[in-house]
Amino acid sequence: MSYFIAGYSVELGLVLPSKRVHATFILGAMLSVVLSASARVASGPFDLAGKTRDPFAATGHARVFLFVRTDCPITNRYAPELHRIAAEFVGRGVEFWLVYPDASETASAISEHMKAYNLPGEPLRDPHHVLVKRSKATVSPEAAVFDGANRLLYLGRIDDRFVELGKSRLAPQTHDLELSIQAVLDGRPVPQARTRAIGCYLADIQ
């Protein structure tokens, strides 16, 4: 838990745009530390049986969080591609976690969604946005790639197929997630650490 909070604060310092907002966020972060400390029983993330899981405790070379919503058409359209990417890294020490940050999505709805779209990875409910905040994810679908030391090395789109909501290429040109996972496994810097994901906002389901 302490590592978790420390990592969170450190990462906050990386991307904040201005000093004033920075201060506000630190305040928010501190508050959330207080809050999570007082209510540590139920912050999650949880597996579908409702048990708390710590995906950062696993031992792989890389962990990938795929932030998804059951009601997001762009997320669903990416299902075959996510499946392909997960299959590509099978047996290579990459853990895929399918993170559902919408508190209102039930375990059974999630199981159904995974089955209907043949989605890869182990499902996690993240109703209190613990993983969302740690990854700084904002959109569904969005991917966060951490290395074995739990450093966030990539956050963003799966590929560049979507340019805006409603504006897409017929085929992607850059497979950002795939390239990033490969780079992490190779111990190289990822080609682009942050990309803009297009999809449904996670802010809408806080």
Partner 1 sequence: MLARCSLPCLALVSSLSVVAAPKPVTFYQDIAPLVYRECAPCHRPGESGPFPLLNYEDVKRHAAQIADVTKRRFMPPWLPEHGYGEFAEERRLSEEQIERIQEWVRQGSIAGSTARAPKPPAFSSEWQLGKPDLVLQIPHPYELGGEGPEVFWNFILTVPLKTSQWVKAIEVRPGNPRVFHHANVIIDRSHTARRLERIRGEGFPGMDVALEEETFDPDSHFLSWKPGSRPVVEPDGMAWRADPGMDLVLNVHLKRSGKTEIVNPAIGIYFTDKPRTKFAMLVQLERDSSIDVPPGEKDFVVTDDFRAPMDLTVLAVYPHAHYLARLMEGYATLPDGSRKWLVRIPDWDLNWQGVYRFKEPIALPRGSVVSMRYHYDNSTDNVRNPSNPPKEVRAGNLATDEMGHFWLQVLPVGEGDRRAVLEESLMLQRLEKYPADFSANYNIGDLLLSKGDAAGAIPYFERAWKTEPSSVVAATELGVALFGASRLPEAEQQLKRALGVDQKYTDARYDLASVQASSGNWEAAASQFRQVLTERPDDAKSWQHLVDVLSLWGEELVKAGDFERAAARFREAVVYRPKDAGLRMSLGAALARMGRMGEARTEFEAAVRIDPGFQAARRALAAMESQTGK
Where on the chain is the footprint of partner 1 (CB under 8 A)? Answer: 20-21, 24-25, 27-28, 31, 71-73, 75-81, 102, 116-118, 163-171, 173, 200-201, 203-205
CB of 95 to partner 1, least distance (A): 22
CB of 74 to partner 1, least distance (A): 9
Q: How far apart are CA 196 and CA 32, in angstroms?
A: 26
Q: How far apart are CA 92 and CA 62, in angstroms?
A: 9
Pairing outcome for strands 200-201 and 62-67: unpaired
- CA-nearest of 174, 148, 166, 56 to 93 is 148
Query: Is 50 or 80 the residue whose CB approaches partner 1 more closely?
Result: 80
Query: Is 53 or 161 the residue whose CB approaches partner 1 more closely?
Result: 161
Query: Is 95 or 160 the residue whose CB approaches partner 1 more closely?
Result: 160
Are 63 and 94 spatial neighbours (Cβ–Cβ below 8 Å)? yes
CB of 164 to partner 1, least distance (A): 7
- CA-nearest of 151, 203, 149, 153 to 176 is 153
CB of 46 to partner 1, least distance (A): 21
Query: Is 24 or 111 the residue whose CB approaches partner 1 more closely?
Result: 24
